[in-house]
Structure 1
Amino acid sequence: MAGVDIEVAPMRSLDDFLANSARFQIPNYRDPDRWAYRVMQNLLYYQTNYFFSAVLIFLLVGMLHPHKFLCGMLALAVVFAIFYYITNKQAVASHFKRDHPLLSLTLIFSGGYFIVYMLGSVLVFLFGICLPLLAVLVHASMRLRNMRNKLMNKMEAAGLKRTPMGLFLDELGVDSDKIVF
């Protein structure tokens, strides 16, 4: 990635993104290649709008249920930290379990209780992550492309402009030239 000039895509107008000039249509589910191409092209063209929309929805869910949101984030962080520690320090964990069986059992039951107790909070946090992704997917699936969208995406494909979403899609192995309809 060294030497690649990244240009952040401009914020598209609200009129272009959602309002009067925006045209929406349910995609043809029988033609998954065409649908995937539409989604990919919209992800590239509206990437800045999608980023700000996702952040706004994420913050909105966090403000509606701040206590549950923070507790869910903390619960998941604790679970991932424990998983990381155990997977990287396997010998230490197995010695601890062998030397302190009662304490190990207590920690396991306490951790299980903590997760069950925090399950509602974890679900609120996961909803805060999944709702923006769903909103982006629905918009990208239903938004019909216009001439500016097609022109900007051709410039991205030709390598004249490199954007964060273009690099992200490249890393995922999605190439606009390989999707043909």
Structure 2
Amino acid sequence: MVQIKFTPIRPWKDFFPGAERFAIPDFHDLPKWNNRMICNLLYYQTNYILMAVVVFLIVGFMDPIGMFIGAAVVVAVFLGAEWAAENKAIIKNFKKENPILFVFFVLLASYLLIPLFGEVMVFLLAFKLPQF
């Protein structure tokens, strides 16, 4: 059985330092920038997970019905897309060749349902806010 180990929770001052610790990354050296980002995500992964859970819970407590309906709509769109991918060859091939684009279209379909189900935005906000 695979054992998952989380990194320890890093101190807040280390995780969220002042502006003096931030440096503009060198976008001309993409491998170095990519390595820096991956190292940061691995080093602070527990802090990021905790922040995501806290934001998710706060949004859920502020609007629980909206959160539930939003989650239900996103899950329904995803399940509908998966069903279509299993039953339609063209969609199955598209999903196999472009998995990221497939997920993008699923999220886009959820986004287009926002006027009908405004609660989708509540769920997506809680889901995406910690990533900023």
Taking the aligned partners of 2:122 and 2:33, their CA distance within structure 1 comes to 30
Residue in structure 2 matching 1:31, options 11, 29, 32: 29
Question: How do 1:36-75 and structure 2 match up within 5 A?
Answer: 36-75=34-73
Partner of 1:144: none
TM-score, scaled relative to structure 2: 0.64
Taking the aligned partners of 1:44 and 1:11, their CA distance within structure 2 comes to 12
Q: Which runs of 5+ in 2 are unaligned?
A: 89-112
Taking the aligned partners of 1:85 and 1:34, their CA distance within structure 2 comes to 40
The residue identity in structure 2 corresponding to 1:40 is I
Taking the aligned partners of 1:50 and 1:76, their CA distance within structure 2 comes to 23
Partner of 1:129: 127
CA, structure 1 residues 76+5, in 2 after alignment: closer, same or farther (shift >3 Å)? closer
Question: How do 1:37-116 and structure 2 match up within 5 A?
Answer: 37-85=35-83, 115=113, 116=115
Partner of 1:153: none
Alignment root-mean-square deviation, CA: 2.6
**Matched residues, percent identical?**
37
The residue identity in structure 2 corresponding to 1:62 is G
The SS at the match of 2:28 is coil
Q: Deviations over 1:36-83 (max 9, x none)?
A: 111111111111111101111222232333332221111122333444
- 1:131 positional shift: 1.4
Question: How do 1:126-165 and structure 2 match up within 5 A?
Answer: 126-134=124-132
Count residues in correspondence. 106
Taking the aligned partners of 1:72 and 1:6, their CA distance within structure 2 comes to 30
Q: Deviations over 1:76-128 (max 9, x none)?
A: 223334444555577xxxxxxxxxxxxxxxxxxxxxxxx4511x221221122
Partner of 1:117: 116
Structure ID, larger Rg: 1
Taking the aligned partners of 1:80 and 1:125, their CA distance within structure 2 comes to 14
CA, structure 1 residues 16+86, in 2 after alignment: closer, same or farther (shift >3 Å)? closer
